[in-house]
Structure 1
Amino acid sequence: MGPRSRAQGRSWRGSKLPRRLFYVATDEEIKSGKATDIYFIRTKRILEAKGLDKVRVVAEVTPSKLPERWPWAILCGTEEVARLFEGIPIDVYSMPEGTLFFTRDRKGLRVPVMFIEGPYGDFCVYETPMLGLLCQATGVATKAARVKKAAGDCLVVSFGTRRMHPALAPMIDRAAYIGGLDAVSNVVGAEAIGQKPVGTMPHALIIVMGDQVRAWKAFDEVVEPDVPRVALVDTYYDEKVEAIMAAEALGKKLFAVRLDTPGSRRGDFAEIIREVRWELDIRGYKHVKIFLSGGLDEYSIPRLKKAGAEAFGVGTSISNAPVVDFAMDIVEIGGRPCAKRGKLGGKKQLWRCWDCMADLVAPFGHE
C-alpha cells in the first residue's frame, strides 16, 4: 500500500470522517441535500437569514452543446430526479424519460428539458445532485442509442460496468437499456430494469479449465439450458480454428462464437470475421452466430456488421460516454421574467412537430 493521503480520515472541518466501506454517497445523504456544493448550502443560509428563502422562482434546465458534435441526445435520469424531489413542495415539469431532444429549436433558441417551480430555498441545495443525475445518465443513454442505431437489428449487450465504480452499475445499465440496447450483463444492472442478465464466458474459465473444449463442454453441462451457448474462441489458437473446435464440440447447441480480439493483436478484425464465417459455413454451421466484443463503438460496428458479425458486447465506449452538460438557471422570480446574461427570461414550453421532428420554444401559455 502507498502512503496515506494527508486528507485521509479528516473532514474539511477537521473532525473524524464517517467510515465508509465504499466511497459513495448514501441515499440519505443525497436526499438530505448533503451531496451538494457548499455554496448552495451557504446560499440557503443567507436567504433564510434575510427572509427570502420562500421567494417563488421558475428554474429551467437546458443543455449546452452536445459532445462529439452529436446532433441529438436521449434524456435520461428524470425518474431519479423525481425521487430526489419527492416530499419537497415544488412542481417539476419534464420531458419524459427516454425522449430524443435537441439543444436548440428551429429558431436557434435553447430547448428546456425540465423546469422547476417553487420556493427557491426549498430546492436550491439539490441543483448539484439533480444535474449529476441527468448529465451522466443522458450521456450513457445517448451513446447507447448511437451504438444500437449503428448495429441495426443485431443484438447489442451492455458490457461496460466493469469500467466504472460498481455502485454505478444499475444507473449505467438502466441508461444503456433506455438508450436502446437489447440486454445487459451485470446482475444488479439487470435487476434495475427487470430483465435477466446476458453474458458469455471469460477467458479465465478456459485458462483454469486448462482446455478450451473442456471449458465449453463444462459450460454446457452446468449452466441452465435456457442460457444461449456462446463459446469464447480466441484464448490460445487462431480464431477460426477455435471456432471450428467449438462448433464440433457443441454442434447444434452452439448459439454463437465470441471474438474478443484485442486491438494490440495484428490483423484486420473484419477479415478475421470473414474467415470465421466462411469456415463455419462450409462445415454446415451456418446457425452459429458471430458475437464480437472489445473496443467497439458506433464508428467501428457498421464495418464489422458488414463483414458478418451478428451480435455485439459494447463496454467502455458506453459506460465511459461523455456527459451531456446541462445547466439550471432561474428565469422567473415572483411571476416576473428574469435571467442572467446569455439566458432567456420567463417560463417556457416546447412544441414539437413529430412528423418533421422540429421544435419550437414559446412563452408558457402561448400557442
Structure 2
Amino acid sequence: MTGSYGDSTRSVKAVASEYVPGAPIAPPPVPAAAYHIPFDEDDSLDSYGRRSNPTWRQLESALAQLEGAAGALIFGSGMAALTAVLRTLAEPGRKVVVPADGYYQVRAYAAEFLAPRGVTVTPARCAQICDVAEDVGPGDVVLAESPSNPGLDVVDLHRLGMVCRARGATLVVDNTTATPLGQQPLSLGADLVVASATKALAGHHDVLAGYVAGSHPEVMQRVERERLLAGAVLGAFEAWLVLRSLGSFGLRFERQCQNAAAVALTLRSHPAVRSVRYPGLPGDPSHAVASTQMRRFGGVVAIELASAAAVHDLVGRSALLVGATSFGGIHSSVDRRARWGDPVPAGFARLSLGIEDTDDLLGDIEQALC
C-alpha cells in the first residue's frame, strides 16, 4: 500500500513524527546552540549547534524520503548547498560542466571561485550537455539543471547519467524547478541532488534554505564535513518552518502545476505573447523528454512579451501578480529576467503560479495583457 501513496500523503508522512504517547504530533523547533555532554566523550550526542540539531535531522529525513535518497543535508540556502558540493568535488586539475542556460549565479561562482583554483569550467546548454559530457573523465563533475531556470529546457537525465557513469564523472542535478514531486533525478542516474528549499518546498516566501540529497555515504560524509567547517548551516527555526511547510507541499504543488498548465495553454494563443515555454505543454520543445522523466511539470511558465515595458504593464494592471524574483510560493509572481543579466530578450518573463483559483488567475492575466 505504501508504494501507491499520492503526493499529499507522502508529504504528510514525510514530516510525521515517531508515535510516542503524550508527545506532540508536530515537535517544536530545538534552537539550542550548546548541549549537555558527558565527560566520557560520546560523538553520537548533540554537542554544538553548527554540528547537529534534532530539527535538522527531522527535516533531512523528510527531504530524503521525498527525493528517494539514503540521506539529505540542509544548508542556509540553495546556493550554499550547491557551492558546498562544488567545493567538495571540484578538485584542481579537474573539469566541471555547468549550465550555460541555468541560474546565472552558478556560472558566476564557477568563474570567480572555481576557475582561479585550477578547475576547468565548461558551460553547456541543456541541448548540448549530454554531448559535452562525452569529454569528461574520472573525477570530473557535471552539473545539470532541469528544467532550466529561466528558460525551462529539459535535460535527458537518464542519458546524461549513463554518459557520466561510463566516464567515471559525478552527476549533480539541480532539482529546484521540478521539485521531488515533479521528478527524482537519483532514480534517473544522478549521484547527487541539490535544490533550493526556499522555493516550492517551503513555499511561503518567508525562509531561505537549501539541501543536498544522495545515496553515496562517502560523498555525503564529505559534504557534511564541508558544511561543518564552512558553517553554511540553517537555523533551527528556519528548518522548522520548512518542515512545517512540507506537510502541505503536495496540495500546494498540485495547484501550482494545475495553474501553470492552464496559464501556458491560454497564453500560447494570446496575441500579446510572442512565445510560451512550459514542459507540460504539448508541442513544447522539451515536452517529449519531460514526459519520460517528470511526474509533474512544475509551477513555472516562461513567456516573452514585446518589451520590458510590456512586462511592467502586465504587473501594474494585474490584481493577482506581484513583481518578485523568487518563485514557487503561494502568491503568483512575475520576474523580468533580463534585469538580472540572463541572456534573454528584454520582454522575457518568468511566471511563477501560486495557489490562487485557476479561473481567477486566467481572468486576471487576460485582462492585464489587454
Structures share a fold, TM > 0.5?
no
> TM-score, normalised on structure 2?
0.28
Structure with the bigger percentage of strand: 1
